[in-house]
Structure 1
Amino acid sequence: MKILAIVVLVCSFVFGAVDINSANQSELMSLKGIGAKKAEAIVSYRKGHCFKKAEDLTAVKGIGSKFIAKNKANIKVGSCKK
């Protein structure tokens, strides 16, 4: 599991920001402070909602404004597929 986390982290630096509207659980885990449970919560929330800006992530339980501030440069908000 640690190897997978390291690979995901390296890939995030190589490929840039994480699109919160399309990233899978592993890609979301490359953000600082996101583990498996929070990544799963984001994916679950996204099934019924669309993120229009990074700050919309605060609607997901366990994600606050401090998380947004730490990760703003690594968060991308692509088009919503709804």
Structure 2
Amino acid sequence: MNRYLVALAGLLLAPAALASTPVNINTADASTLAGSLDGVGLAKAKAIVAWRDAHGPFESADQLTEVKGIGASLIDRNRDAIQVDGARPARKAKPSRTARAKADADEG
């Protein structure tokens, strides 16, 4: 009897554990988003990708509210799983005048 209860509990809890898998909303494709975020099906996931393609990377999870069909409650439900790494790609640092002068001297 106990084995059945443990198995039943596992079956009931498994979808919740799998539904909110950490995912980077700036790099994931639609099928990954749909499979990782609770309440996000393929249609909403495609809308997220389309918004990202049109407007650039998301700067925060809350910016998802700009996507049609995504509300604050859906974001709150998935907040722990939503990652926004790469929102602002690092720019290459410009070499200083000293470094440029040294490079010019080394070449000449």
Normalising by structure 2, we get a TM-score of 0.59
**1:81 Cα deviation from its structure 2 partner:** 7.5
Q: CA RMSD in A?
A: 2.0
The structure, 1 or 2, with the larger RCO (C-alpha pairs under 8 Å, 6+ apart) is: 1
Distance between the aligned counterparts of 1:66 and 1:80, measured in 2?
A: 22
Distance between the aligned counterparts of 1:19 and 1:81, measured in 2?
A: 13
Q: Does 1:24 align with 2:13?
A: no
Runs of 4+ in 1 over 2 A off after TM superposition: none
CA radius of gyration, larger in: 2
User: In the TM superposition, what are the counterparts of 1:6-25 in structure 2 within 5 Å?
Assistant: 10=18, 13=21, 17-25=22-30
Q: Does 1:37 align with 2:43?
A: yes
Provide the identity percentage. 44
**1:48 Cα deviation from its structure 2 partner:** 1.9
Counterpart of 1:48 in structure 2 is: 54
Counterpart of 2:72 in structure 1 is: 65
Q: Look up the equivalent residue of 1:72 and give its one-letter code.
A: R
Q: Which runs of 5+ in 2 are unaligned?
A: 1-16, 90-108
**1:80 Cα deviation from its structure 2 partner:** 3.7
Q: Look up the equivalent residue of 2:37 and give its one-letter code.
A: L
Distance between the aligned counterparts of 2:43 and 2:75, measured in 1?
A: 17
Q: Look up the equivalent residue of 1:76 and give its one-letter code.
A: Q
Q: Which runs of 5+ in 1 are unaligned?
A: 1-8
**1:42 Cα deviation from its structure 2 partner:** 0.5
Distance between the aligned counterparts of 1:40 and 1:32, measured in 2?
A: 15
